[in-house]
Amino acid sequence: MFKRMLERKPGGVVDFMLSAVGRLSRGGWLYWLWLVLLLGVMGNGGFHYLDQLRHGLMITGLSDQISWGFYIANFAFLVGIAASAVLLVIPAYIFHRQEVKDVVLLGEAVAVAAVITAMTFVMVDLGRPERFWHMIPGIGEFNFPVSLLSWDVLVLTGYLLLNLLIPFYILYCHFQGREPSFRVYFPWVLLAMFWAISIHTVTAFLFSANPARPFWHTALLGPRFIASAFVSGPALMIAALQIIRAVTRYPVSQKVMHMLALIMTIALQISLFFVIAELFTDFYNEGSHSASSRYLFFGLDGHAALRPWVWCALGLNLLAVLILMINPLRENMFFLNLACLLAFVGIWIEKGMALVVPGFIPTPLGEVADYVPTSAELMISGGIWAMGLLVFTLLAKMAIPIELAQRDRPAEAVAGAAATT
């Protein structure tokens, strides 16, 4: 039975995979230029990572005082992207909105790319990456369920698999020219939805579990993570969908854009409200729990590396929410894109560096220091982002032709194929 599956017969799994991979080698000059560009940035990052392997993490700006920095900041942000990209699933499968269903596979591709990117950021942050296997249950010593980090590894891996499996099944069916069976994939879709929330909650808990770090140790952190993720994720999706619409003939309905923009607007409002709530609690009665916020927003003992960044993030988010709240502006693609860009960068700062780094300042013993990433850290991170873009590009490249072929098939043919299988 297994052997039969592996034979390359037309319409078989192997045929499916081979033809999908085969599509990667067909593309216009723009496609190749894009790939070369990404590979260049990745190569540069890889080169610097070799340096990090050779010399240790001393090539970063990290220290015993601030022991997590740019890598973990990007990780936290990307988990949010991964979680919210799948939120498209809800209108698509629960409310059966066809125009959303059309793009749901792309959302899953974004999720896959974001999870892989997030996990790579954790890998490059490890002091002993070759001991990675110590985390594998069975051969390693997995500290589950006590360690939140072990939870995170588990939910991210599960999420990755889910988001690979569902599209695989759907695409495979379409490849064979039949409609996927709703009863087969729907339970998994439902699971993926809850899982999406869980990955971001667990990542927030990873931080808020530490009473040693008052800046993170707040019940609001989880909700803040989710709210901001529902800003950055749709912002990215809006951009990605427009690019796909421009370079392929894939149908991306304007209705989807509107829906995403609306989600973004509401989430950004909630997110800003949470910021205000935090600021009030920190500064109305300023105690030692507010020292990190004071460092972040105003500087502490002459150290203020993050101050310009956090104000910039606040400004960007405010501007974005203003644009989004004015209906005519939101429906204008130029302004919508502008708002997406502003909010994406704003959240990237807020849920990245401005979240991770102040947790360490001052240290639990009251020492104040600054952290600034080195150029090596930036290059390595750039390489990882490029890898994420590459993963998304390749996934989309494989999926889109299958989807277009299914769409071009006359409806009777699809029905016929369904009847024979």
Partner 1 sequence: MSTNPQPDQPLDQYRRGFLKKLGLVGGAAAATTLPAVGHPAWGGSTLGDAVGDFFQSHYKRMDPEEIEAALGRIERRAKKRLGVEIQVANTPPIPGVVFGYAINISKCQGYRRCVTACVEENNQGRDSQVQYIRVLQMDKGGMNLETSEHYYAPETVPVDGKFYLPVQCQQCDDPPCVKACPVQATWMEPDGIVVIDYNWCIGCRYCMAACPYWARHFNWSEPQIPAEALNPVTHYLGNRPRPRGVVEKCTFCIQRTRLGRQPACQEACPTGARVFGNLLDPDSEIRYVLENKTVFRLKEDLGTEPKFWYYTDV
Decide if residue 212 touches partner 1 (CB under 8 A). Answer: yes
Residue 228 C-beta: closest distance to partner 1, Å: 21
Cβ proximity to partner 1, 271 vs 292, nearer residue: 292
Nearest C-alpha neighbor of 402 from the set 225, 169, 131: 169
Q: Which of positions 55-74 make contact with partner 1 (CB under 8 A)?
A: 55-58, 60, 62-65, 67-68
HEC letters along the chain: CHHHHHCCCCCCHHHHHHHHHHHCCCCCHHHHHHHHHHHHHHHHHHHHHHHHHHHCHHHCCCCCCCCCCHHHHHHHHHHHHHHHHHHHHHHHHHCCCHHHHHHHHHHHHHHHHHHHHHHHHHHHHCCCHHHHHHHCCCCCCCCCCCCHHHHHHHHHHHHHHHHHHHHHHHHHHHHCCCCCCHHHHHHHHHHHHHHHHHHHHHHHHHHHCCCCCCCCCCCCHHHHHHHHHHHHHHHHHHHHHHHHHHHCCCCCCHHHHHHHHHHHHHHHHHHHHHHHHHHHHHHHCCCHHHHHHHHHHHCECCECCCHHHHHHHHHHHHHHHHHHHCHHHHHCHHHHHHHHHHHHHHHHHHCCHHHHHHHHCCCCCCCCCCCCCCHHHHHHHHHHHHHHHHHHHHHHHHHHHHHHHHHHCCHHHHHHHHHHC
Q: Of 288, 302, 334, 408, which lies in the binding site for partner 1, with binding defined by CB under 8 A? A: 288
Residue 14 C-beta: closest distance to partner 1, Å: 31
Decide if residue 140 touches partner 1 (CB under 8 A). Answer: yes
Decide if residue 43 touches partner 1 (CB under 8 A). Answer: no
Alpha carbon 160 to chain centroid, angstroms: 11
Cβ proximity to partner 1, 233 vs 359, nearer residue: 359
Residue 353 C-beta: closest distance to partner 1, Å: 15
Q: Of 3, 26, 128, 249, which lies in the binding site for partner 1, with binding defined by CB under 8 A? A: 128
Decide if residue 291 touches partner 1 (CB under 8 A). Answer: yes
Residue 73 C-beta: closest distance to partner 1, Å: 13
Decide if residue 45 touches partner 1 (CB under 8 A). Answer: no
Q: Of 213, 289, 307, 409, which lies in the binding site for partner 1, with binding defined by CB under 8 A? A: 213
Decide if residue 326 touches partner 1 (CB under 8 A). Answer: no
Q: Of 39, 149, 259, 325, which lies in the binding site for partner 1, with binding defined by CB under 8 A? A: 149
Cβ proximity to partner 1, 25 vs 288, nearer residue: 288
Number of residues that bind partner 1 (CB under 8 A): 51
* CA 19/CA 293 separation, integer angstroms: 53
Question: Per-residue string for binding with partner 1, 346-365, x by CB under 8 A?
Answer: -------------xx-xxxx
Residue 406 C-beta: closest distance to partner 1, Å: 42
Cβ proximity to partner 1, 60 vs 163, nearer residue: 60
Cβ proximity to partner 1, 108 vs 125, nearer residue: 125
Query: Which residue do the tokens 């039969």 mark?
Result: 4
Cβ proximity to partner 1, 97 vs 294, nearer residue: 294
Decide if residue 44 touches partner 1 (CB under 8 A). Answer: no
Q: Which of positions 226-255 make contact with partner 1 (CB under 8 A)?
A: none
Q: Of 1, 366, 410, 419, which lies in the binding site for partner 1, with binding defined by CB under 8 A? A: 366
Q: Of 105, 106, 119, 135, which lies in the binding site for partner 1, with binding defined by CB under 8 A? A: 135
Q: 35 is written with which tokens?
A: 């790939």
Cβ proximity to partner 1, 11 vs 56, nearer residue: 56
State how far the alpha carbon of 114 is from the alpha carbons of 4, 70, 241, in Å.
35, 16, 16
Residues of this chain that interact with partner 1 (CB under 8 A) are 50, 53-58, 60, 62-65, 67-68, 122, 125-132, 134-135, 140-143, 146-150, 153, 206, 209-213, 288, 291, 359-360, 362-367
